[in-house]
Amino acid sequence: MRIRKMKKSFKRSLWAFHINTGSCNACDIEILATLMPRYDAERFGIKLVGTPRHADVLLVTGPVTEKIRDKVIRVYEQVPDPKLVIVIGGCGSTTGVYQESYAVTGPVDNCIPVDVFIPGCPPRPEAILYGVARAWEKLEKIMKEGSKNAS
């Protein structure tokens, strides 16, 4: 069922920009592992890009430290609409083990709107793929509604 839905939504490739807001790198290497030959997210056209201005999706990891907060907001503003934010990992979703820290101002939805949370410390590559697919559906929906409103 889901596969059929996914097929329907794969109209164009999805470009993602990854921003680390103070994570421990575990989620970051799992994102890379998702793109590698074993899981091969690139066969769906999912690609990491080097600048937020080319991206459809923002992948955010980490609990948002105080020093980086402004930069996260700035990167979010640079992503063109329609855009989605996916939070990867437990600390981005809830600040996880880093709660009570004076240097952490997260979780991520404290500073930018979030569409999909992928829990896990770190989430497995399969979970990341699934989360991205869910986000994709949402993006297609937004675009469809957008074009309806325009016409």
Partner 1 sequence: MHPDDIVARFSSELKGHFTASRIQETAEGLDGSKKRVRLWLSIDRDVFHRAVSLLKEFGPPHICTPMASKEYGDTIELIYPFTMNYAAEPFGELVVILVVDIPRDDLRIRSVCDLVPGILYMERETMEMLGIIIEDIPDPRRLFTPDSLGDTYPMRD
Partner 2 sequence: MDKTITYPLQIGPTHPAFKEPVRFSFKVEGERVAGVDIDLGYTHRAIEVISKERNFIQTIYLLERICGICSVSHPMAYCMAVEDASGIEVPPRARYIRTIIGELERMHSHLLWAGVAAHEIGFDTLFLYTWNIREKVLDCLEQFTGNRVNYAMLTIGGVRRDLTDDLIPVIEQTLEYYLEVYQRTSEILLDDQSIRYRCEGTGILTYDQAVALCAVGPTARASGLAKDVRVDYPMLAYPDMDWLKPITPLDIGKEPAGDVYDRMVVRVLELKQSVDIIRFCLDNLPEGPIASINGSIKIINKLKKVQGEGIGRYEAPRGEVAHYDILDMSECPVQMKVKAPTYSNAFAWVPMLQGSEIADIPIVIASIDPCIACADRMTILRDDGATETLNAEYLHSLSVNKMKEVKSRCSG
Binding site for partner 2 (CB under 8 A): 18-30, 32-33, 36-38, 49-51, 62-63, 65, 67-68, 71-72, 75, 91, 96-98, 100-104, 121-122, 124
Q: 51 is in the binding site of which of partner 1, partner 2, none (Cβ under 5 to 8 A by kind)?
A: partner 2
Rounded to whole angstroms, the maximal C-alpha distance in the chain is 50
Question: Which of 81, 102, 105 lies closest to 92 in space, CA to CA?
Answer: 105
Two tokens, residue 22: 């103070």
| Sign of the alpha-carbon torsion through 85, 89, 91, 96 | positive
Shortest reach from residue 21's CB to partner 1, in Å: 14
Nearer to partner 2, 98 or 117 (CB): 98
Residue 102 found at the interface with partner 1 (CB under 8 A): yes
Residue 66 found at the interface with partner 1 (CB under 8 A): yes
Measured CA to CA, the distance from residue 25 to residue 121 in angstroms comes to 11
Residue 149 found at the interface with partner 1 (CB under 8 A): no
Nearer to partner 1, 22 or 131 (CB): 22
Residue 97 found at the interface with partner 1 (CB under 8 A): no
Measured CA to CA, the distance from residue 74 to residue 97 in angstroms comes to 26
Residues 60 and 91: beta-carbon distance below 8 Å? no
Give the interface with partner 1 as residue ranges (CB under 8 A).
Answer: 66-67, 102-103
